[in-house]
Amino acid sequence: MEQPRHGIRAAHTESTITVYQAYSPEISLPAVRDGRFPTLWKRDRMTWIKPSFLWMMYRCGWGLKEGQETVLAVEISREGFEWALRHACLSHYVPELHADQAEWKRQLGRAPARVQWDPERDLRLQPLPYRSLQLGLAGEATVRFADEWIVGIEDATPLARQVHGHVRAGELELAAALLPEERPYPVAEDVLTHLRR
């Protein structure tokens, strides 16, 4: 099926969307246990959430990178996710979308969220010709994410290890069968207009 160049694909329900993050066990294990991030998790830092499981695997090296050993599947409300999109700014300047670089920088400085569109990845973590959304949260968005939007947190590390094992063995069909079902995420056109080139 033809994929839109800038589309959101995710595991989602009528009320939630699943995004991925990777942390050290000191942060992730209490988060899974308690269903919320521990005090060690810094609210004053930008945090990035990724709807694509395979892009998260690319970013954290299948959970083998230092400080990213535990992969979390964080289920958040669609209402919160879409609030972040509506209040986001692109992380880079695009002449077709911004009056000039100064205006883009002003928007970026004010926005509590930012968006990057990076090449989606296949099972071998090679780039695909369409893009995957990365959503950076800061300030108000980080606090809302931590305190209001989270519905549940699961440890996806065993899944990452299992998929990676099949990929290493060349068993791509078995690996693909284990992947979370990521479908096009339905979002009103006006939510993404200011975030697509």
Please report which residue ranges of the chain form alpha helices under DSSP H.
25-34, 53-60, 78-86, 101-110, 140-144, 157-168, 172-178, 189-192
Q: Which CA distances in Å does 160 have to 2, 111, 184, 194?
A: 26, 33, 22, 33
Q: Give pLDDT tens digits for 59-97.
A: 999 999 999 999 999 999 999 999 999 999 888 767 677
Considering only residues 119 and 93, tell me which one the structure prediction assigns the higher pLDDT: 119
Nearest Cα to Cα of residue 31 among 150, 153, 114: 153
Q: Name the average pLDDT for the chain.
A: 92
Q: Give pLDDT tens digits for 34-68.
A: 999 999 999 899 999 999 999 999 999 999 999 99
Q: Give pLDDT tens digits for 136-148.
A: 999 999 999 999 9
Q: Are 116 and 91 in contact (CB under 8 A)?
A: yes
The pair of three-digit structure tokens given for residue 58, joined into one six-digit string:
């690319």
Q: Give pLDDT tens digits for 8-21.
A: 999 999 999 999 99
> What pTM did the predictor assign?
0.93
Q: Are 87 and 111 in contact (CB under 8 A)?
A: yes
